[in-house]
Amino acid sequence: MIRFLLLTLCLLSIAQAQLPLELTPGTRIAFIGNSLFDRMRDDGSFEALLHQRFPQHHLIVRNLAWSADEVALRPRPDAFGDLNQHLTEHQADVIFAAFGFNESFKGDKGLAEFETLLKAFLIELKSHRYNGTSAPRIVLVSPTPAEKPHGHLNGQIQSYAKAMQKVAQAENVGFADVSKSAVLLASSPQSPVTINGVHLNAQGYRLFAEDLFRATFDETAPTLNEGLRVAVVEKETKFFQYYRPLNYYYIKGGRAEPYGVVNFPGELEKLKQMVGNRDQLIWDIATGKKLVRQQAVSPAVSALVDDSNTRPLPSITGDRPVNEWLSAADELKAFKIDPRFEVTCFASEEDFPDFVKPIAMRFDAKGRLWVSTSTTYPQILPGQEPEDKILILEDTNQDGKADKCSVWADKLHIPLSFELGHGGVYVSDQPNLTFLKDTDGDGKADHREKLLTGFGTEDSHHSLHDFVWSPEGDLIFRESIFHHSQVETPYGPVRARDSSFFRYTPGTGKLLAFGGYMSTNPWGITFDDWGFHVGSHPVFASAVHALNAPYPDIHVPAGSYIPAYSGTCGQEFLSSSHWPEGLRKKHFMRVRYKPTNEVELHEWVEHDTHFEEKKVGIVFQSTNLSFIPVDIQQGPDGAMYVADWYNPVKGHMQYSLRDTRRDKKSGRIWRITAKGQPLEESPKIAGTSIPDLLGLLKSENYRTRYRAKVELWEKSSAEVLPRVTDVKEPPLHQLLELFWVVSPHLHVQPFPWQVIVQLSEQPVPTARAAAARALRFAPAATLQSELFARLANDKSGLVRMEAAIAASYIGTPMALEAGLDLLKHPMDSYLTYALRTSLDSHTLQPLWKGNTEFMAKHPELVVFLKDSEPKKPAVMAKKKLAEKADPFDAQPGLQIITIKSVPERLLFDVREFTVKAGTPVKLTFENPDVTPHNLLVVQPGAADEVGMAGNEMAKLPDGMAKGFIPDSPKILEKTRMLMQNESQTLRFKAPAAPGRYPYICTFPGHWLVMKGEMVVE
């Protein structure tokens, strides 16, 4: 009898899964899958139609989709939980599942595997009782068709849709095939239904909603209620904040302790209640209980919601000491300035109420300074909307101080960086790359387009930053540790984790991930005159440009091979005529926020295989540690401008994200000039003719050339290319600049091989290196193997390095063979890293890994792979073995403790250990981290006092030389400041008094989180 009942229930479940779908009151619906549904949360049309069709059912709809999700690949943040957990939390009765698009890029070879994985996935879903009583009813949804310029994808899309239909029939689940949608395929260039050929725009989602409704219910959709649709979007916005909040690593991940566990559980509960209130609003509108006009906008709909029934949130004020807040005038007095320079305040919160918390800045072609600001950082509060801005500052009377401030864009979500271009602004708008534009010329952005989404947000100050145009006209940006990004593009999914660079080509919409290895949160990208990438992690960042390893692998850490560190926020070359001749061109300023707060002066020194920085001075250092420089850029007048976040609370993880002492009212821009030096006359760029813009490419001023190229890149191929060919016999560097000008047009123009050959034959190594770098963008079909081989065997290490990296972009057997030619020449750590990461790239690795025939042919590769493993930890281990015997260690009762720093985490791996009072202790501290650390054992209760004293040493020029170890009788034991892969052993008698003795790292700011306790019994 029981078996009969179970069979009956199974058959009922199968019957219910068929289309047309029947819904009952209170049905809970979940959307899962890829960007088709993930982006749908911004539209709301389909869900609105559901509520219109079933107004009395009080449907509950939750969108759990994620950009670029695949049936068997769904990366999530640390401790996020799997799909089954979230479907259980939301008690799904019905599941709409959109898959097939990202899988389709595997082509016919991947079809069989896709069918197998999809079948297994459906079986797993059906095995659960997410609602507690019955298996879910499932509707598979095919990809939508592509349109120009990606219409060629439709063949593979339809093949995968057929596979989905086959599996759906076999597993008795519903299937909605929109891959051949007549209305979507009927689009035209004049009326597109996508933003990029594959992702639907607003009109596309309206049509898709009607198609999906028809396929699901076998009836025509009702006329869309616009007010209801807006209410759905309002609910989706709040649910997104609940389901995918920023700073997840601090909410449930590895840094939830000690602060996140205090405030975030209550915040998530409040958001959940707010979502429920918006469910009620949707039901009220659907049933006519609340009337909303058809032209309703979000603020009007939001005003209909009463959230007074949600839980109140506590005000959190930490008890850890913070730095002193000063007015702009008093802060300036705290600067210790090199007498060669002068520093003045260009803008502050005292001048303009909107100018608060600047993060990034860029000058435009008109000489105006654009600044992104964020009071939302570090985390939006439940019930609030993002209100971050992009401002325009102007110095209309040319007196060196801003006198006009305009709000160009608002409602942004922690815009860590941005860049001007193509008539608008590309901005980090977590978790999106967003494009903004002012289409009506009123000085305010009125067009907003989500170009790409799915970038990691596990740490809101590690999200997309460092926006800069590469010399070739691609947008370069980066994210940092803890993040898991997966971005759906017309060229296939792009995934990265734990830090990566990205290269976005606006002309094609293509996204590449490169330089992916575990690093901290380095900020600031600059390129020198020859296109070499300058950073901090690593310093010579050109060496890390190989494409990423096959996901989820990442490259070996750059810091184990070449100089790399964090604590800085950018650098800028002194290239204008304003600077003294001795500093010009070969020097740059770097802004540093830890351990000291200063603007540094460095020389850029060329070597055979790399460039290195040489610190030659400090432009100014602040004795007020609330000075936090976050960006630097040379202005059109030749002066240097520094953005100052200015905040007494210094650090993301060191204090609660909700600490009320986090400043929300201050912000400054400092202007640095050279004493006695005339300013440079600002060049005319905006509105300048193409020939004159091309003439500016001969300027010695890097920023003049940069802004001229940005202006030229906005022109069409028809406008620019004939003018470029009109330039006769350009000087060498202008020839390179002209190649960079035409680079964004290479997808519609033949590759200029003649120029590359000409550059490759120059006596200047940096020119030949630029030629080798250009091969990354050459069509493989026309690539000249002889040219590539010649560059890979060049006498200059810089050229060979660029050739090795280019091999990962070309990704052919010929490129692999040419890259291995580097092993015929002397290798150092820079060339080793470049070649190793190129070989490990997702393009080259499949050509040799597991290929026994190839490996047998290249025994030198076997040796190189072994020898190129990171060596520094092994070196440290050898040093430990070679340690001389110490009589102290022969004492009876010796307790041996080893503590290590956790790389990139600001943590000790041992948080507590116990010793007996008065016994001998041998404590070895090892630092495998790229960041310097020490270990101090202090008296009970003295951790804050000693830690803050270490912070204060950041004001001293010799603070680092003293290891940030304050002169305090409360320090019982201490190591020196250890660099990466150094160790030191402390030998001491445990205190006679029982108690809990803290040990901390006093590198400024670290003591707040990098701590533990020695328990004496």
Mean pLDDT by 10 residues, the chain (1017 residues): 37 54 97 98 98 98 98 94 95 98 97 94 94 97 96 97 97 96 83 96 97 97 95 96 96 91 94 97 94 73 91 89 95 97 98 97 98 97 94 97 98 97 97 98 97 96 96 96 95 96 97 94 92 96 98 94 93 97 94 93 98 97 96 98 96 91 97 97 95 96 97 94 91 95 91 95 98 94 92 98 98 96 97 98 97 96 93 41 79 96 87 96 93 95 94 88 96 96 95 97 90 97
Angle at 961 (CA atoms; ends 955, 965), nearest 5 degrees? 70
Show the beta-strand stretches assigned E in 598-667.
598-606, 611-622, 629-634, 640-644
Contact 250, 462 (CB under 8 A): no
Phi-psi map region of 412: left, alpha, beta (phi>0 left; psi -120 to 50 alpha):
beta
Q: How far is CA 279 from CA 24, 230, 236, 285, in A?
A: 17, 12, 10, 10
List phi, psi (to 5°) of 478. Answer: -145, 155
Contact 328, 637 (CB under 8 A): no
Cis check for the bond before 730: say yes or no (omega within 30 of 0).
no
Element (H, E) at 818: helix 813-820
- What is the C-alpha to C-alpha distance for residues 320 and 660, in angstroms, rounded to an integer? 12
Nearest CA among 612, 599, 541, 609 for reference residue 571: 599
> pLDDT value at position 319?
82
Dihedral of the alpha carbons of 681, 683, 684, 685, in degrees to the nearest 10: -160
- Radius of gyration, CA atoms only, the chain: 30
> pLDDT value at position 314?
87
Show the beta-strand stretches assigned E in 260-338.
335-337
Residues 6+ apart with CB under 8 A from 150: 196, 197, 198, 490
Angle at 198 (CA atoms; ends 71, 152), nearest 5 degrees? 95
- What is the C-alpha to C-alpha distance for residues 348 and 116, in angstroms, rounded to an integer? 61
* DSSP-derived pairing of the beta strands 995-1000 and 388-394: unpaired
Nearest CA among 267, 354, 361, 279 for reference residue 314: 267
Element (H, E) at 914: strand 912-915
Contact 566, 519 (CB under 8 A): yes
Give the pair of three-digit tokens for residue 758: 């000409």
> pLDDT value at position 15?
33
Dihedral of the alpha carbons of 469, 368, 640, 355, in degrees to the nearest 10: -100
Residues 6+ apart with CB under 8 A from 39: 67, 199, 200, 205, 450, 453
> pLDDT value at position 17?
53
Nearest CA among 287, 224, 319 for reference residue 55: 287
- What is the C-alpha to C-alpha distance for residues 394 and 737, in angstroms, rounded to an integer? 29
- What is the C-alpha to C-alpha distance for residues 565 and 904, in angstroms, rounded to an integer? 10
433 DSSP β-pair partners = 428, 452
Cis check for the bond before 378: say yes or no (omega within 30 of 0).
yes
> pLDDT value at position 54?
97
Element (H, E) at 359: strand 358-363
List phi, psi (to 5°) of 422. Answer: 55, 40
| First CA to last CA distance, the chain | 66
Nearest CA among 1006, 371, 353, 321 for reference residue 644: 371
Counting every residue written for the chain, the total comes to 1017
409-422 burial code (b ≥16 CB/10 A, e <16): bbebbbbbbbbbbb
517 DSSP β-pair partners = 555
Look-up: residue for tokens 């999106």? 432
Phi-psi map region of 1005: left, alpha, beta (phi>0 left; psi -120 to 50 alpha):
left
What is the distance of C-alpha 335 from the center of its chain?
Answer: 32
* DSSP-derived pairing of the beta strands 500-505 and 494-497: unpaired
- What is the C-alpha to C-alpha distance for residues 131 and 91, in angstroms, rounded to an integer? 4
Residues 6+ apart with CB under 8 A from 140: 97, 99, 118, 122, 164, 167, 168, 173, 174, 175, 176
- What is the C-alpha to C-alpha distance for residues 474 and 776, in angstroms, rounded to an integer? 13
> pLDDT value at position 585?
83
Judged by DSSP in three states, 786 sits in helix
492-525 burial code (b ≥16 CB/10 A, e <16): bbbbbbbbbbbbbbbbbbbbbbbbbbbbbbbbbb
DSSP-assigned letters across all residues of 363-431: E-TTSPEEEEE-SSTT-PPTT----EEEEEEE-TT-SSS--EEEEEEEEES----EEEETTEEEEEETT
936 DSSP β-pair partners = 974, 1000
- What is the C-alpha to C-alpha distance for residues 597 and 619, in angstroms, rounded to an integer? 11
- What is the C-alpha to C-alpha distance for residues 693 and 713, in angstroms, rounded to an integer? 11
What is the distance of C-alpha 120 from the center of its chain?
Answer: 33
Judged by DSSP in three states, 140 sits in strand
> pLDDT value at position 189?
81
- What is the C-alpha to C-alpha distance for residues 236 and 238, in angstroms, rounded to an integer? 5
Contact 666, 323 (CB under 8 A): no
Look-up: residue for tokens 């096959």? 550
Which DSSP symbol is given to 884? Answer: P
- What is the C-alpha to C-alpha distance for residues 480 and 26, in angstroms, rounded to an integer? 42
Residues 6+ apart with CB under 8 A from 727: 694, 734, 738
Assign 3-class secondary structure to 75-120. Answer: CCCCCCCCHHHHHHHCCCCEEEEECCCCHHHHHHHHHHHHHHHHHH
> pLDDT value at position 875?
35
